[in-house]
Structure 1
């Protein structure tokens, strides 16, 4: 299936079309899910530390196994087979995440269940209806006939802002105090569910009864209450219902014409029959920490093990395309396929987030709209799998892989200037991981929509396009070292701006600086004459730098940023990133000037010595593009 003879005629137009289509569809799949993966992990109840560990471990797994699979597939001439197997395993791994049970019921609850964030608006509507029809409800004059078992004093919590009843005259009798506490708790419960203190204080006791009647007869109220209250608050709510139903049944609380005593009693009696199942659900939630720990381990093992087999997709495709073009002596077309990758990352994040924001209950199947990210990912990945049947491949073995990597390591790790570029990329990679993983958490905390997040991804990728034309002149004007320093300065400003973000939409202008913090940085590093011996070694150097940035730096930064997020908060995290970036600038400039630069003759001599490797195989920036937005 993979074999292609040298004498076989090649349809170059068809091959280019297949390659571009493959890259476009694969990038479309990644852009629908990978930038938003941490949002799903948060929805499952994972902490920032756990999220950072999962992302970091996943990255290391890909960093280790992708080149191994690529090397083996080339050696045994099974590139297309391994490519298709990896695509299948990627779909299996990430679509399998949707099967993970969420103990908070948030990832499986339909938005029609009224999530806590929308509870306030729903209660406001009910409150408006109650006040509009207040003439139908007679003022309550409670006859205090509670039995001796009705004391709920032990269940009441100390409130920071005690609520005073509005229409029950305070007396000194013990039974009056008990009834007052019942309605005080009812008011406190409404505040917990989202109403303001002023709105609650304006309610009479009969209004409150009517409001609870309307709320509890709403569809899916159990899910709503369960998402809004803690287990302890739920126990208090059960007692409140028991006491209120008991008082209504004895005629101690009078209701008006619209809400009859019989309908109210029947409704709340039916609710009481469900208390056992609700208590069972909350018994499970009391052990939530244990269950979430199990979910963390399941997700960690799933993604790490899945990346072992799914990681080489882009590496194999890139190597195969380069060798295919090299064999037909048409290497000038290599690299143009990345335009379609960028195009997909510009278009599809906006589309998928726009659909998610305007979807309530996905396909009427009571699934959270975030599942749409996974299903669009699976759809595009399925199309990618079909195109992979026709992907152009070459079967030449990696003849001089070790020689190429040895030259690249000598240029980077064994020279002063190369070592400081390595340290710089390590720092920038860690900072990149910080905002790549947790910027959307900040936008979510500011009540931003997913469309804002999709625009962040699209604008960042769109900003790279014009900078491709200006990077060369700018780097030649400033010099490689100063261009890196300029990029670090923009990076510091970008992360500092994140820490003072006041509204979700304000993040969009900052995303345009991605052209400076990413595009110029990489152009300045890779165009440095110290690392430009010949095309073969250039590709090896790019592979080493990409591994440091997107492998070691990104994975380490993911873990560290998660720990900082949990202990100090997102604002401190971004400010720390800004301080590190700006503090490294003078160190880099000074050491870059102190390091002895090779002379022109030395560079030419090095190129002459390594010229025999010009035709060796590719280890291009596959890791950079695989993890760039994932």
Structure 2
């Protein structure tokens, strides 16, 4: 007979906590700063919203599907390890995407970055990009800024103006020298000068003539030998399909599609990690009748995220650039993410996992959706989490943009987000007192209202450290809200379906709500600016918080069946009936005994 292996619960929880800490620390190093990196590359707010929304929607669909497939084929550990390796490689591959403008990537390697903020260095690059075309007067092509005096179309988004190269209308000099037009000291009479910027009067004209002739000879020879060069180029692009259409786009749209492709592959690689690891660990603890201790690993995840975002902010603020490869400082976020993902591989290899083939997660999710839909209070909680997820996406995606516009650097951003994570992790210390003061329904309202106040506060930032006080409210907007959701899950779920119901709420908030909020938020910033995005999110959430208590009061109450009380009541009723039967039998026996004794006495007499 094969001896059962003894389960060490403390060791299992320690390994699970280490794994969650490292994974969340890796995400904290990169994901909060990802949209800021997209801004440095040159993506517009609408493009950034589409990329982030696609990321959340892919995770909404692929996470449960990948978890189900890994369970069906019993490949959970392989999926976890492969997800860590592939996500690290995809994140580093995003560094290979070239920026839409030349000056954006060089902004991270200036020696003055430690003194001036990111906005100031970007403004310096804009100034250099606008002055440089004016000094290049000896080139064969003339550059003219497009909408040079017009204001930037996107509020709160400084980016260099596009330059259009006009090669057809540029006059080709016929003489040996290419005179440059200058003005006298009084600025009234123009005069001609044959000197170029370097002072050599013969250098620029010869270069211009030779380069122009070379271009013409190349074009004529290509047309002569091929018959029609333009037709062949069009045929080649049509054969390439998507790559050909991508080639004819402007640099900004090329950047957008390349970024969208890489982020989609990255999310497909990283999405199965959480669900697969959680399923295996939960079933392992459930086998040892310790499933209630599974929630303790969430605190380690919050602490890891706080350490990751704070440590990355401090580290990047102390570096100028990677001197070996002349890469920007933002590359440190990607390298830290990849390093911590690889560091989590030993913990993933030792992570306690169990496969319970009797549990079907697909039917469990469908049953959980039916349970949530069947309860009015649970449905109101689901709508609340959806709206909170949409509003939280505005904070996650564009808060760093708002802070950057007011002079914040990586240090300010990292420490602010770290304070938010620490305050959220500290909520379990206040949960018992808060539960005595407010009901779970009111706690849900307070958590959503706290998020609305945060968004409203973010629209009035005025200094680099101004966002720091509002991060303390994350204790309520994150910790209290999800505590109320957990209580609602316990009230709705049937025995064995608690985790499935919790995942329904998580998918509504973290994936569906964040995806829709990212798409809408990007277009709002594009049209109205960052300030009105936060104010609109605050107004929407606060309006729902006003209506939610009234809807909760009007919703019909469904009393939950307490199975333990039913069993206790059944046992007590059975004991009462048994005692009554015993008492009846005893009384009857005593009466019979009395009657017999009385009969005996009568006979003796």
Give the TM-score, by structure 1 length: 0.69
- 1-side partners of 2:147 and 2:268: how far apart? 53
Cα 1:306–1:480 shift into 2, 3 Å: same
Note if contact 1:446-1:504 (Cα within 8 Å) is conserved in structure 2: yes
- 2-side partners of 1:319 and 1:525: how far apart? 20
Residue 5 of structure 2 corresponds to residue 8 of structure 1: yes
Aligned to 1:321: 281
- 2-side partners of 1:359 and 1:399: how far apart? 50
Aligned to 2:90: 93
Cα 1:19–1:530 shift into 2, 3 Å: closer
More divergent stretch after superposition (522-531 vs 558-567): 522-531
Note if contact 1:25-1:381 (Cα within 8 Å) is conserved in structure 2: yes
Note if contact 2:100-2:255 (Cα within 8 Å) is conserved in structure 1: no
1:399 Cα offset (Å): 2.1
2:471 to 489, 506, 511: 511
Question: 2:496 is paired with a residue of what secondary structure?
Answer: helix
1:376 Cα offset (Å): 0.7
2:561 to 573, 593, 603: 603
Unaligned 5+ runs, structure 1 = 125-148, 161-226, 236-240, 254-260, 281-286, 610-630
- 2-side partners of 1:271 and 1:559: how far apart? 52
Note if contact 2:144-2:163 (Cα within 8 Å) is conserved in structure 1: no
Cα 1:472–1:156 shift into 2, 3 Å: closer
Aligned to 2:447: 487
- 1-side partners of 2:254 and 2:197: how far apart? 44
Note if contact 2:20-2:301 (Cα within 8 Å) is conserved in structure 1: yes
Aligned to 2:45: 48
Residue 19 of structure 2 corresponds to residue 22 of structure 1: yes
Cα 1:533–1:352 shift into 2, 3 Å: closer
- 1-side partners of 2:411 and 2:487: how far apart? 36
1:363 to 323, 344, 349: 323
Question: 1:83 is paired with a residue of what secondary structure?
Answer: helix
Unaligned 5+ runs, structure 2 = 112-117, 128-137, 150-158, 168-177, 216-246, 568-605
1:108 Cα offset (Å): 3.7
Cα 1:554–1:327 shift into 2, 3 Å: same
Question: 1:505 is paired with a residue of what secondary structure?
Answer: coil
2:120 to 112, 117, 121: 117
Residue 542 of structure 2 corresponds to residue 586 of structure 1: no
Aligned to 1:544: 504
**Alignment coverage as a number of residue pairs:** 493
1:21 Cα offset (Å): 2.2
Question: 2:81 is paired with a residue of what secondary structure?
Answer: helix
Aligned to 1:342: 302
1:553 Cα offset (Å): 0.7
Aligned to 2:163: 231
1:119 Cα offset (Å): 8.3
Note if contact 2:24-2:308 (Cα within 8 Å) is conserved in structure 1: no
Aligned to 2:334: 374
Question: 1:500 is paired with a residue of what secondary structure?
Answer: coil
Cα 1:54–1:268 shift into 2, 3 Å: farther
Note if contact 2:101-2:160 (Cα within 8 Å) is conserved in structure 1: no
Question: 2:462 is paired with a residue of what secondary structure?
Answer: coil
Note if contact 1:50-1:296 (Cα within 8 Å) is conserved in structure 2: yes
Cα 1:104–1:15 shift into 2, 3 Å: same
1:89 Cα offset (Å): 1.8
Cα 1:346–1:373 shift into 2, 3 Å: same
1:59 Cα offset (Å): 0.9
- 2-side partners of 1:545 and 1:582: how far apart? 20
Note if contact 1:103-1:292 (Cα within 8 Å) is conserved in structure 2: yes
2:199 to 258, 265, 268: 265
1:35 to 7, 32, 48: 32
2:75 to 74, 78, 86: 78
Note if contact 1:245-1:268 (Cα within 8 Å) is conserved in structure 2: no
Cα 1:267–1:475 shift into 2, 3 Å: farther
Aligned to 1:477: 437
Cα 1:505–1:606 shift into 2, 3 Å: same
CA displacement, residues 240-293 of structure 1 (integer Å, 9 cap, x when unaligned): x98489999xxx99xxxxxxx99962699799979989xx9xxxxxx9972221
Aligned to 1:572: 532
2:255 to 286, 295, 316: 295
1:390 Cα offset (Å): 2.1
Cα 1:433–1:247 shift into 2, 3 Å: same
Give the TM-score, by structure 2 length: 0.72
- 2-side partners of 1:28 and 1:270: how far apart? 56
Aligned to 1:187: none
1:19 Cα offset (Å): 2.4
- 1-side partners of 2:565 and 2:258: how far apart? 50
1:323 Cα offset (Å): 1.7
CA displacement, residues 539-582 of structure 1 (integer Å, 9 cap, x when unaligned): 22211111111121110001001111101111111111111111
- 1-side partners of 2:445 and 2:555: how far apart? 16
1:431 Cα offset (Å): 0.3
- 2-side partners of 1:12 and 1:268: how far apart? 83
Residues 51-450 of structure 1: pairs in structure 2 closer than 5 A? 51-106=48-103, 108-109=105-106, 111-112=108-109, 117-118=120-121, 231=163, 243=180, 265=199, 290-402=250-362, 404-450=364-410
1:105 Cα offset (Å): 2.8
CA displacement, residues 567-602 of structure 1 (integer Å, 9 cap, x when unaligned): 111111111111111111221111110011123xx4
Cα 1:159–1:387 shift into 2, 3 Å: closer
Cα 1:267–1:386 shift into 2, 3 Å: farther
- 2-side partners of 1:507 and 1:366: how far apart? 32
Note if contact 1:73-1:79 (Cα within 8 Å) is conserved in structure 2: yes
Aligned to 2:155: none
- Computing the radius of gyration over CA atoms, which structure comes out larger, 1 or 2? 2
Aligned to 1:214: none
Cα 1:242–1:548 shift into 2, 3 Å: farther
